[in-house]
A = this chain, B = another copy of it.
Amino acid sequence: MRGIYTDLAAELRELSPDIKGVVEEKDADGEIEITRIGILDPSAARRIGKAMGRYVTLDARALSERPLDLFEAVEKRLATELAELLRRNGGKSTVLIVGLGNREVTPDSLGPRVVEGILVTRHVKQFVPEAFDFEAPGVCAIAPGVLGVTGVETMDIVKGVVERVHPDCIITIDALASRRAARISTTIQLTDAGISPGSGVGNQRAELSRESLGVPVLAIGVPLVVRAATIMTDTLSLMANETGLHADEEKLKQLAQSVCEKQLDDMIVTPKDIDAIVSDMAGIIANAVNAALFGKNLERVRSLIS
Contact = CB atoms under 8 A, between A and B. Distances in A.
A152 interface: yes
A272 to B, nearest CB: 6
Number of chain copies forming the complex = 4
A37 to B, nearest CB: 24
A238 interface: yes
A266 B256 CA distance: 22
Contacts of A248: 243, 245
A140 B152 contact: yes
User: How many interface residues does chain A have, given as a range?
Assistant: 35 or more
A263 B164 CA distance: 39
A160 B255 CA distance: 48
A127 to B, nearest CB: 8
A302 interface: yes
A306 to B, nearest CB: 4
A235 interface: yes
A151 B164 contact: no
B121 A151 contact: yes
B243 A252 contact: yes
Given A105-B275, A263-B181, A243 B270 contact: no
B303 A67 contact: yes
A268 B266 contact: no
Given A66-B306, A255-B239, A268-B270, A149 B120 contact: yes
Given A151-B120, A267-B181, A299-B67, A259 B274 contact: no
Contacts of A180: 263
Q: Do most interface residues of chain A lie in helix, strand or loop, or is the interface mixed?
A: helix
Interface string A44-66: 00000000000000000000011
Given A235-B263, A267-B269, A156 B148 contact: no
A268 B272 contact: yes
Given A66-B302, A66-B306, A248-B245, A266 B271 contact: yes
B145 A156 contact: no
Given A157-B160, A164-B159, A256 B270 contact: no
Nearest to A260: B235
Nearest to A142: B150
The 8 closest A-B pairs by CB, nearest first: A160-B160, A140-B151, A122-B151, A120-B151, A156-B164, A66-B306, A123-B151, A140-B152
Given A108-B272, A140-B150, A140-B152, 12 more contacts: A67-B299, A122-B152, A142-B144, A152-B164, A157-B160, A159-B164, A235-B259, A239-B255, A243-B248, A267-B269, A267-B270, A269-B269
